[in-house]
Structure formats: structure tokens, C-alpha cells
Structure 1
């Protein structure tokens, strides 16, 4: 992402709100995605007997 693309939404009030919502949605989706991976990996590690 170029600096112009990052600053432009700030100059336009209408697109600033949309930019913030879209940015928040991406972070929120990423948190859920990583949380799901961590949860399933934990469940798998609980079911798979550890080789010791």
C-alpha cells in the first residue's frame, strides 16, 4: 500500500468512516480466524496421544 492510498481516506470524511470500519472488520476477522486455528490445534493435540 502506498502512502497516498493510506492518507487519501483521511482527507475524505465520507471514506474515512468506511475505511475504519473495513480495517476493523479485517482485524476482527483475523482474530477469529487465528482463534479458531488455535482452538482446533489444541483440540487435536488433546485427542492425539503424545509420543513419549
Structure 2
């Protein structure tokens, strides 16, 4: 993958890299491997403010 690639994902897919969500329909992810959070996490298309810790 390179900057600017468009990735289509479906239920059950593993997301291959950090991506920017440009369109979704009630998207929730399992972030357990990254954060230890076992509950589904809702994802949104709005921009993240510059002062948010990623």
C-alpha cells in the first residue's frame, strides 16, 4: 500500500494499515490487539483534531 490508495473493507476483514475512513455505515472495529479494549469501538469519518493523542 502507498499513500492515496483506496481500500474497501467488509465485515470480518483485517485492516492492512493505518487508514483514513472516508465513508462508513455504522463501522465498529475490534481493537483488542492494539489497545486491549475488548468492546467494539465505533469509527467515524470526521477529522481528528491536532491535539488528540493517537
Considering the TM-score relative to the shorter chain, is it more than 0.5?
A: no
Higher helix share: 1
Q: For CA contacts below 8 A with separation 6 or more, give which structure has more relative contact order.
A: 2
TM-score band w.r.t. shorter chain: under 0.3
